[in-house]
Amino acid sequence: MDSPATGRMRTSGTTQRAEILGSVTVPGSPEQVSGTRTFIARTLAELPGVDRDAATLLTSELVTNAILHTESGAPGGTVTVVVLEVPGGVVVEVVDDGSPGMPVVKADVYAAEGHGLFLVQQLAAQWGYLRDPAGTTVWFHLAMAEYTGDTCARPVSLGGYLAAAAAYTAASTAEQMSATSSSQVT
């Protein structure tokens, strides 16, 4: 079930790399969404500068989408959530069992439903997805805020570290990374 990682950020010389903080695989049923929210809150509890509420909300939306719109919601389906610490923030990945369609942000803000990816697009520094025959990984990056004394400055820029984080995930390959669709929120 849960697989928390041990240790902190690994370094190689002066280069910091991504570290898996934890992962969980749950059955693809709606009852499991609250457990993934608890997992995110617990995993990020001691990581300063990360908006845990945003991480929890966005993960909940992506897990719900996986259950409703992919094979993860079929009998025996699963959803896996992976949390990575990267220099300047965190990356959360939600891995489903695949579907014929691709993740789509709905443009109708007045619709009664379908705002999950819209929220991800608006709140995350970056997001995207990777598809392969085994399923789809939808990921988002939340930048860590810089703290100076009692004030919080702008989020730290991610720079080129997102690609490094994706390279450390089990589902990522060079071919999949070239197929990534991402959106930079400005």
- pLDDT one-digit tens code per residue, 109-162: 666 666 788 889 999 999 999 999 899 999 999 998 864 444 444 343 333 334
What is the per-residue pLDDT for 101? 84
Asked, for residue 1, whether it belongs to a domain, the answer is no
* CATH code at position 156: 3.30.565.10
Asked, for residue 10, whether it belongs to a domain, the answer is no
* Domain ranges, residue 68: 18-184
- pLDDT one-digit tens code per residue, 27-59: 999 999 999 999 999 999 989 899 999 999 999
CA distances from 134 to 59, 97, 128, 140, 175 (A): 20, 6, 17, 20, 14
Flag whether the pTM goes above 0.85.
no
